[in-house]
Amino acid sequence: MGKTLTGGDIVCEALLNEGVDIVFGLPGGAILPLYGVLGRYPDLRHVLVRHEQGAAHAADGYARASGKVGVAFATSGPGATNLITGLATAMMDSVPIVAITGQVGRAAIGTDAFQETDITGATLPVTKHNYLITRVEDVGPTIHEAFHIARTGRPGPVLIDIPKDVMQEVGTYDYKRDSQINLPGYRIPTAAPDEQIDAAVELINQAERPVFLAGHGVIISRAYDELKELAEKAQIPVVTTLLGISGFPENHPLHVGFPGMHGEAYASLALDDSDLIIAAGSRFDDRIVGNVNEFATRSKKIHIDIDPAEIGKAVPVDAAVVGNLKHVLAQMVPKANRGSRPEWIRHVEQLKSDHPSLHIPETGNLSGQHVVRGLSNVTKGNAIICTGVGQHQMWAAQHYRFTEPNSWLCSGGLGTMGYEVPSAIGAQLALPESLVWSICGDGGFQMTMMELATAVENRLPVKYAILNNNHLGMITQWQELFYMGDTQADAYTANPDFVKLADAFGMKGMRIDDIDDVESAIEEANAHPGPVIVDFVIEKVEHVYPMIPAGGSIKDLMEDTRV
Amino acid sequence: MSTQSKFEARTVTALVEDRPGVLARIAGLCRRRGLNIASLAVGRSENPGLSRLTFVLEGPPSVVDQCAAQLERLVNVIEAHDITNMNHIWRELALVKVKTTTETRVEVLELSRVFRANIIDIGANSVTLELTGGREKIDSLITLLDRFGIIEVMRTGRVAVLRGTLFEGEEDGQFQANRNWANGVPHEYHITPGVSGSV
């Protein structure tokens, strides 16, 4: 027989049984019955955010960094709707989050009550699954089911909406392990069928110019060793996608780079020159593919994915393998022939030297590339790097030399400005011993900078590097290149003084505008025991190159003419 | 993938949990992926707690090819199969209320006899017919009845099941007529459990 508890207590007990130790949230009326009992569970640490979007992003950062499920609490109505950007970010990047929202009492649902929103309706497209609980007996089983769904298969966010009176009501609770969960419509692919493996391996063994397109799946399934083993055995160069970065060591001779819109030219060219692309846990995103009719026309494609609905979605494929990437690669290793492809490897090396995409043009002024290069040098590629979206993200992806698995957290699919501030807080809580650097744009930083208070409050030594060009840099770039240079709406003419802002939040602040001061500033920030903002004042009109415009192909590749 | 490409229709059957909100999830998914639900029939299945759906979905080929796989991503969908290219039988049902006068009634009744429609109601000024069959048959009767004056047409969506196999050891829905007897069943007619679409 289970314990008799209030709904709020059941939530806490169930979270503890799921191994949760940190919850990000912000209380409000409808979720107060949960907050009212939270104090009885000292093993559940509550991190009070300043805005619910921060809770969702921090839970996301925590989940990516730890590999566990991140948890966010919010109240009904505006609290819940504020989570949506964070849920959508996690959905696009397959990040496991469980969000628990308060809802108005059952009798008031559907009456346009104060702070009522149909949040299960609103979050249908941005969650892997969601629930509205209507009976206290369902609270425990639903939470366990939600964690099971969030973390297994292709991970994703799950939202549970609990009416206020359900959390107050008394019911029984039994801990239900994963194996007791009965979800007849939910399948978790693990190993792939042998015939799929054999068909794919045959293509690999026949290929003369194969290349891996290693995506986020490598990191989610922790398939680093298997990827490396297969790449080394069969001698296959590894292109990583934007979210696949840090899934393969960047100091490895077979590492190529990331392809697509702002990837290194040689990575895009390697895909184009290949005769076989092995997409491993990548979904052929439009930022990689561009014009589907002109994408890697001479290569066959193997698509390995845990989600059968991704197969053939973006690009037609020659062989499909549905399974967990770690299992699939392990299945492939013994069947793949020991490869020797010196010509192809030399060709890829030649592409690298013919297209020095990572060469930084020297204008004498500090640029974003200098900052990232400095960070990479000082931290020896060992830091955890968080970014939002835009120029700062692309420079970080290009110039930071990642050597540790899963050390790169950015909003890839949704492209969420502001992700970088709270996600770094989540990552630091997941990895208290690690050095966490958040590389920010001045635009995105101002979308979520209220969470600096959360970092200070929780004594988290996160380092924030603002690549400050007083512009929405990537938007300026697009307007200059594609919209006749009308950039009137993307200049910030009254950005705050970020050093004074650091002081106001109780953090250390520094401003750097000289290339020669970059590395010493980073060293100083690293040595400081608390959180730091370094305001790097960079070139205003620097474009990110290489660039393949949206919907374009390798023929449209633009490289920096100065290098 | 051009958005101008011609739309294709697919007949899809699904077994889903019988609980509130499931249809909204399915409809939302179709909307997000740009699929039009041309017809839909839902009812409780032979399993308690589960409903069976038959849809006709329309969309660009690249999207409709994927529809069963996309539907199976939903936690409440137990299974979904695109049965368009499998050997299946399907029916629709229509209730047609037609204006009649003493002069035209006999002719309407005669038409309904030829179409094997049931007369389910006769009023002073109207007759209501119940017709089951394929879409073309129903369309034809409606066209023929048009000149009498149609008051109301109520049609259900398509319901479909796979044809039963004629041979031991084979799966329902295979096109046995097309079978190459010497070499077994052609590969493309095999149902791959759990993985639908253009795998």
Instruction: Give me the CATH number covering residue B54.
Output: 3.30.70.260
CATH code of the domain in which A397 resides: 3.40.50.970
Choose the final residue of a domain: A140, A157, A180: A180
Q: Are residues B42 and B81 in the same domain?
A: yes
CB-CB under 8 Å, A312 with B65? yes
Kindly state the average pLDDT of the residues A131-150: 96
Cβ-defined contact of B73 to A312 (cutoff 8 Å): no
Q: Is residue A361 part of a domain?
A: no
Would you place residue B51 in the very low, low, confident or very high pLDDT band (cuts 50, 70, 90)? very high
If asked whether residues B46 and B97 sit together in one domain, one would say no
Same domain for A349 and A449:
no
The answer to the question of residue B135 being in a domain is yes
Is the minimum CB–CB distance between B72 and chain A shorter than 8 Å? yes
> Where residue B119 sits, what CATH number does that domain have?
3.30.70.1150
- pLDDT exceeds cutoff 80 at A532: yes
Label residue A48 exposed, middle or buried (CB < 10 Å: 0-12, 13-18, 19+).
middle
B71 and B97 share one domain? no
B109 and B130 assigned to the same domain: yes
| Amino acid letter, A348 | V
Average pLDDT on B29-41 reads 93
Q: Give residues with Cβ within 8 angstroms of B131, minimum separation 6.
A: B93, B94, B96, B112, B115, B116, B117, B118, B137, B138, B141
- Based on the fold, state whether residues B48 and B101 are members of the same structural domain: no
Statement to judge: residues A374 and A456 lie in one domain? yes
Per the listing, tokens 């996608």 go with A241
Distance CA A164, CA A467 (A): 44
The number of C-alpha atoms within 13 Å of B121 and in the hemisphere containing its C-beta is: 10
**A309 to B17: CB separation less than 8 angstroms, yes or no:** no
Identify whether residues B13 and B74 lie together within a single domain: yes
* Domain assignment present for B2: no
Residue in A with minimal Cα distance to B1: A292
Placement of tokens 């709270």 in the chain: A422
For tokens 């290489």, name the residue. Answer: A546
pLDDT at B197 over 50: no
Same domain, A321 and A392: no
| Residues of B whose CB is below 8 A from A308 | 69, 72, 194-197, 199
Q: Within this chain, do residues B30 and B82 fall inside the same structural domain, yes or no?
A: yes
- A397 and A490 co-located in one domain: yes
**Could you say which of B86, B103, B127 is where a domain stops?**
B86
Residues of A involved in catalysis: 52, 114-115, 164, 474
Lowest mean pLDDT among A132-146, A301-315, B104-118, B184-198: B184-198
Give the domain extent around A324. 194-354
- Quick one: B23 and B78 in the same domain? yes
Domain count along chain B: 2
Per-position b or e across A493-505, b if 16+ CB within 10 A of its CB: eebeebbebbeeb
HEC states along A430-470?
A: HCCCCCEEEEEEHHHHHHHHHHHHHHHHCCCCCEEEEEECC
Q: What is the spatial distance between Cα B130 and Cα B91, in angstroms, rounded to a whole number?
A: 13
A145 to chain B: closest CA residue: B75
Inform me whether the pLDDT recorded for A292 exceeds 60: yes
DSSP state of B180: B
**Cβ separation A308–B24 shorter than 8 A:** no
One domain for residues A328 and A239: yes
Name residues whose C-beta falls within 8 Å of residue B176's C-beta, 6 or more positions apart in sequence: B87, B165, B166, B167, B170
Instruction: Indicate if the pLDDT at residue A74 is higher than 80.
Output: yes
Among A320, A218, A126, A311, smallest CA distance to B72 is for: A311
Q: Which of B25, B73, B197 has the CB atom closest to A311's CB atom?
A: B197
pLDDT at B192 over 60: no
- A395: in domain: yes
The interface pTM score, or ipTM, of the predicted complex is: 0.86
pLDDT(B183) > 50? no
The pLDDT, as a whole number, for residue A1 is 59
Tokens of A476: 């300026």
Q: Is the model's pLDDT at A270 over the cut of 80?
A: yes
Query: Is A21 part of the contact surface with chain B (CB cutoff 8 Å)?
Result: no
Mean pLDDT over the full length of chain B = 85
pLDDT in tens, A473-484: 999 999 999 988
Contacts B75 to A, Cβ<8 Å? 128-129, 149, 183, 185-186
- Assign B180 a pLDDT band (cuts: 50, 70, 90): very low
If we measure between CA atoms, which residue out of A122, A126, A74, A187 comes closest to residue B21?
A122
Confirm if A258 and A242 have CB atoms less than 8 A apart.
yes
Cβ–Cβ gap B75/A311 under 8 Å: no
In this model, does residue A29 exceed pLDDT 90?
A: yes
Mean pLDDT, rounded, for A94-111 = 97
Indicate whether B21 and B37 sit together in one domain: yes
In chain B, % of residues over pLDDT 70 = 85
Q: State the average pLDDT over residues A536-551.
A: 93
> Which residue in this structure is represented by tokens 């409809």?
B27
Asked, for residue A444, whether it belongs to a domain, the answer is yes
> Both A444 and A540 in a single domain?
yes
- DSSP code of A548? -
pLDDT above 50: residue B196: no
Distance from CA of B183 to the nearest CA of A (A): 19
Asked if A312 and B77 come within 8 Å (Cβ–Cβ), the reply is no
CA distance linking residue B158 with residue A360, whole number of Å: 63
Determine the residue of chain A that is closest to B31 in CA distance.
Answer: A125
B61 in contact with A, Cβ within 8 Å = no
Q: Is B183 helix (H, G, I), strand (E, B) or coil?
A: coil
Write out the DSSP string of A66-105. HSS-EEEEE-STHHHHHHHHHHHHHHHTT--EEEEEEE--
Residue A360 counted as domain residue = no
A253 touches chain B (CB under 8 A): no
Residues A110, A209 within the same domain: no
The model's pTM is 0.92
Domain-terminating residue out of B86, B105, B120: B86
Residues A172 and A43 in one domain: yes
Residues A18 and A66 in one domain: yes
pLDDT tens per residue, range A435-459: 999 999 999 999 999 999 999 999 9
State the total domains in chain A: 3
Taking residues A488-498, report their average pLDDT: 91
Residue A557 lies in a domain: no
Whether residue A553 is contained in a domain is answered as no
Taking residues B174-199, report their average pLDDT: 41
Cβ contacts of A184 on chain B, cutoff 8 Å: 17, 78
Q: Is residue B187 part of a domain?
A: no
Between B171 and A78, whose confidence is greater?
Answer: A78
Q: Which of A383-397, A540-554, B161-175 has the lowest mean pLDDT?
A: B161-175
| Structural domain ending residue among the three candidates A354, A388, A418 | A354
Residues B62, B108, single domain; the answer is: no
Q: Do B28 and A322 make contact, defined as CB atoms within 8 angstroms?
A: no
* B2 pLDDT tier (thresholds 50, 70, 90): very low
Dist. CA A269–CA A45, nearest whole Å? 48
Verify whether the Cβ–Cβ distance B75 to A125 is below 8 Å: no
Last residue of a domain, one of B139, B155, B171: B155
Specify whether the CB–CB gap between A276 and A300 falls below 8 A.
Answer: yes
DSSP state of A262: T
- SS3 breakdown of chain A: % helix, strand, coil, rounded to 5? 40, 20, 40
Same domain, A36 and A160: yes
Q: What type of residue sits at position B44?
A: R
Whether B1 and A313 lie within 8 Å, measured CB to CB = no
B198 within some domain: no
Q: What is the pLDDT of residue B63?
A: 87
Residue B44 main-chain phi, psi, to 5 deg: -60, 145
Residues A324 and A378 in one domain: no
Closest chain A residue to B78, measured at CA? A185
Residue A22 has pLDDT above 70, yes or no: yes
Burial class (CB in 10 A: 0-12, 13-18, 19+), A346: exposed
DSSP-derived 3-state class of residue A149: helix
Contact of B153 with chain A, judged by CB distance below 8 Å, is answered with no
Rounded to the nearest 5°, which phi and psi values hold at B162? -70, 145
Residue B136: CB atoms within 10 A of its CB come to 8
Residue B176 pLDDT greater than 70, yes or no? no
* Cα angle for residues A26, A30, A32 (degrees, 5° grid): 60
Q: Nearest by CB to B75, which of A129, A313, A316?
A: A129
Residue B73 at interface with chain A, using a CB cutoff of 8 Å: yes
The reported pLDDT for the residue numbered A488 is: 77
Residue to substitute from B22, B52, B66, B73, interface A, most A β-carbons within 10 A: B73
| Tokens encoding A479 | 């307007």
Both structure tokens of A480: 């200059």
Residue A278: exposure state from Cβ atoms within 10 A (0-12, 13-18, ≥19): buried
The chain-wide mean pLDDT, for chain A, equals 96
Query: What are A321-370's pLDDT values in tens digits?
Result: 999 999 999 999 999 999 899 999 999 999 999 999 999 998 899 999 99
CA A207, A211, A213, A217 dihedral sign is: positive
Q: Residue A401: its pLDDT value, please?
A: 96
Q: What is the CATH number of the domain that holds A317?
A: 3.40.50.1220
Query: Å from B78 to nearest chain A CA?
Result: 3
b/e code A207-229 from CB counts within 10 Å (16+ = b): bebbbbbbbbbbbbbebbebbbb
Q: Which domain holds residue B100?
A: 91-155
3-class secondary-structure state, position A49: coil
Query: Are B113 and B74 contained in the same domain?
Result: no
Closest CA to A482 of A549, A547, A415, A548: A549
Q: How far apart are CA A171 and CA A139, in angstroms?
A: 9
Q: Residue A562: which pLDDT band, with cuts at 50, 70 and 90? A: confident
Mutate to test the interface with A, among B17, B195, B196, B198 (most CBs of A within 10 A): B195
Query: In B, which residues are within 8 Å of A292 by CB distance?
Result: 1
Q: Which residues of B touch A133 (CB under 8 A)?
A: none
Is there a single domain that holds both residue A392 and residue A336?
no
Residue A185 within any structural domain of the chain:
no
In a domain, A563, yes or no: no
For residues B116 and B55, state if they share a domain.
no
| Neighbouring residues of B104: CB distance < 8 A, sequence distance ≥ 6 | B148
- Tell whether B100 is within 8 A of chain A (Cβ): no
